[in-house]
Structure formats: structure tokens, C-alpha cells
Amino acid sequence: MQAVPIKGRGSLSNRGSRFHALQRQACPDDWAWSPSNGGFGGTQLPDFPPQPPEPSRPATTVSTERARSIVSRNNSPDIPFDRSINAYRGCEHGCIYCYARPSHAYLDLSPGLDFETRLFAKENAAELLRKELTRPGYRPALIAMGTNTDPYQPVERRLRLTASLLEVFDEFRHPVSITTKSTLITRDLPLLTRLARRNLVRVFVSIGTLNRELARRMEPRAATPAARLEAVRALRDAGVPVGVLIAPVIPGLSDHELERVAIAAADAGAIDAQYILLRLPREVDGLFQEWLQAHYPMKAAHVMNLVRAMRGGKNYDSDFRQRMGGTGVHADMLRQRFRRICVRTGLNQRKIELNHTAFQVPAANGQLGLF
């Protein structure tokens, strides 16, 4: 039985994680129905196919937790930073393609609906960051926010964990980058502007499509593409260096918009742009194909064939050398198109290096340090 879309949610199901020994699958309770034998109990009923049940609309729950650490480190050669912060686990934006969904399996929860409805907030995030930055021997380097979950997802409006982290970065004069698809970032413009004056911050706004209907289906609780472009303009006008992340580029569904998004981003004031090809690691593969079949059944097979053509015949290849951009003729064509549109629009012509030399540990209780 095909899953039914749930209004306001990206996932259609709550598939179990790869760590579960048993899997559950919903099926219609019509096993005894047979038009040939006169229906149930010999009573003749109309000959109609069983209908899928109306899906329930799960509410969002937020649990607070006391994290033991807040800065994650990586040594991936295709990522331009080695440390990051995520104040939240799970993301209510519900982007069906989100490569971070499998991380919810480590909480014994589903990468499906659980990822976008059962959220966890690290209430001591700012406290842990301050502790990390005052650690003896700490050396400043760019810390990225928004690498796993959106730092400005709806719950941030109430909890303000991202805002509290930015206050610590400002206090220590530490460089930070932010990636988001939320207009809530404009709430913190005064703080971001102060960081920008010291060359300590840069922002990437994620815009994968300008098609409002496609965006609503793919990322149901994120801001509209037009609203995100307005956020780019607001950041530019405030003097905050801003770029656009064109992600994900979905072959056969949104790849034809690559130039349109880049042109709109440049017109809105973006300095640079990057793109990332659709990634389907682990459980995301099944969740995305389920979504694709429900929303775009006539395109589903074509989209997946193109995905495989760009992933060496597989649905996904995690090799660092190609996981962001893919391989093959279609991937090469995408790279050429992107280079040409960047030249045409003036994107990526100016390299931005954030300041790492202004870092300072504030004196405790207003007293100057001995050394």
C-alpha cells in the first residue's frame, strides 16, 4: 500500500532505523475481503479497492538535554572546516532529502517522521562553547553552524540557543559561519552586523529551487524561496557577507533551475554560491524514493535513473572525491553550467577569509589576566 503524504511533514512514514532488528510495515485490514466470495460473511458489498487510511498528523515535541560537549570535529577532505556546532538534534523543517536524517537512528528513533517531530535541544550549548574556548591551548579556527540541523529552525524562535551561541562568538571574537534556510536569521541582524564589522561571520542561505510548490513539498516547514531571497538582501544591506547554497540539485526535478537560482541569488546580493548534488545516504534513500513516488510518480523512475548515472550506477556513493558533485557525463555538464553561470553573474569572484587573529579570552569578573 502506497504511503500518503502528511500535511506539513516531509516524510511519509516512520521507518525504523538500520539498528532495529525488527521492522514494522502498515498494511490494510482487508485480508478477508474478496468480491468473488460475496465479501465478509457472505454479504455482497460493492467491488472497490481498499483505500489507504487518512494519515495522522504527529505533533512536534521538544526535549531538552544537557550535552557533554558541543563542538564536533571532522577530517573530511571535501569539507572546508574541521569543527562544527549543532544546538539541536532533529529538524522541524522536514526536508525529505536531508542527509542528517540517519543521525536520529543513534537515538533509537526513526530517521523518518521522528527526525522532524521529536527534537532535542542542548540547553547548555552556550555554556559548553564558552568552556571550550577558554580551554588552555585552544587555537581558533572557523566553527560552522547548520551542518547537520538548521540553527534557525522554528523552535529557535522560542529557545534562542543559536542566539546565545552567537553572543559567545562575539564575546570571544571567534570566527563562525552559518548555513540556514530560515528567515529567522534576520532577527539576529544586530549581532551578526557587529560580528561582520570585525570580519568574524559569513552566512550561506540554502535555496535549492525557486519553485514554491516543489519547495513546499520537499521542505514543508522552511521559508519560501522568495522569503529566503529577501533574507539574502537583508543580510547584504546589513553588511553581512552572504552566499547561497544551491542544494540539493536533484537531477530530473530541480537541476534545470541551477542558473535561475544563481541569477536570483546574485541579484539579491549574494557574493558567492556553491551547489551540492542530491545525497541519499542510508535511510534517506528509501524515504526519498517513497516521497518521490507519492508526489511525482511519473518522474520517479527517470529521477532515480539519473541519480544512478551520477553515482556510478548506485543510489549513493560516499567517496569523498565525488559525493558532493557526482561523476559521469551529467555531473560534468552540471559542473560546466555552474562555472559559466558564476562567471556571468560575478559569483565566486571574491574570496572571503574570516579573521582568526582577533580571538581573545575575556577576563573573568572584569579583571585583567596575569599574563
Low-confidence ranges of the chain (pLDDT < 50): 32-34, 40, 42-43, 45-48, 367-371
Q: What is the pLDDT of residue 371?
A: 44
Q: Determine the Cα–Cα distance for residues 12 and 7; give it in Å rounded to an integer.
A: 10
Q: What is the pLDDT of residue 117?
A: 97
Side-chain-facing half-sphere of 139: CA atoms under 13 Å: 1
Grid cell at residue 259? 542558473
What Rg, from alpha-carbon coordinates, does the chain have?
Answer: 23
CB 311 within 8 A of CB 329: no
Query: Phi and psi at residue 37, in whole multiples of 5°?
Result: -100, 15
- Classify strands 71-73 and 83-85 as parallel, antiparallel or unpaired: antiparallel
Grid cell at residue 112? 523518518
Burial (0-12, 13-18, 19+ Cβ within 10 Å), 23: exposed
Query: Phi and psi at residue 283, in whole multiples of 5°?
Result: -65, -20
Q: Determine the Cα–Cα distance for residues 371 and 314; give it in Å rounded to an integer.
A: 57
State which CATH number among 3.20.20.70, 3.40.50.300, 3.40.50.10320, 2.60.120.260 fits the domain covering 62-276. 3.20.20.70
What are the C-alpha distances in Å from 152 to residues 93, 158, 186? Answer: 10, 10, 10
Phi-psi region of 358 (alpha: psi -120 to 50; beta: other; left: phi over 0): alpha
Q: What is the pLDDT of residue 325?
A: 87
Residue type, 55: P
Q: Of 258, 192, 194, which Cα lies nearest the Cα of 231?
A: 192
Q: What is the pLDDT of residue 24?
A: 61
CB 206 within 8 A of CB 231: no
Q: What is the pLDDT of residue 369?
A: 46
Q: Of 344, 323, 324, 363, which Cα lies nearest the Cα of 134?
A: 363
Secondary structure of residue 359 in the 3-state scheme? coil
Q: What is the pLDDT of residue 365?
A: 52
Q: Determine the Cα–Cα distance for residues 273 and 206; give it in Å rounded to an integer.
A: 10
At 128, which helix (H) or strand (E)?
helix 125-133
Secondary structure of residue 334 in the 3-state scheme? helix
Tell me the per-residue pLDDT of 60-112, one tens digit each, with 9 for 90 and over: 999 999 999 999 998 888 788 889 999 999 999 999 999 999 999 999 999 99
Neighbours of 71 (CB within 10 A): 16
**CA 192 from chain center: how many Å?**
21
Query: What's this model's pTM, rounded to 2 decimal places?
Result: 0.87
Secondary structure of residue 288 in the 3-state scheme? helix
Q: Of 87, 213, 199, which Cα lies nearest the Cα of 150?
A: 87
At 88, which helix (H) or strand (E)?
strand 88-89
Residue type, 190: P
Q: Determine the Cα–Cα distance for residues 22 and 90; give it in Å rounded to an integer.
A: 23
CB 77 within 8 A of CB 135: no
Q: Determine the Cα–Cα distance for residues 100 and 281; give it in Å rounded to an integer.
A: 9
CA geometry: angle 234, 164, 127, nearest 5 deg:
155
Phi-psi region of 80 (alpha: psi -120 to 50; beta: other; left: phi over 0): alpha
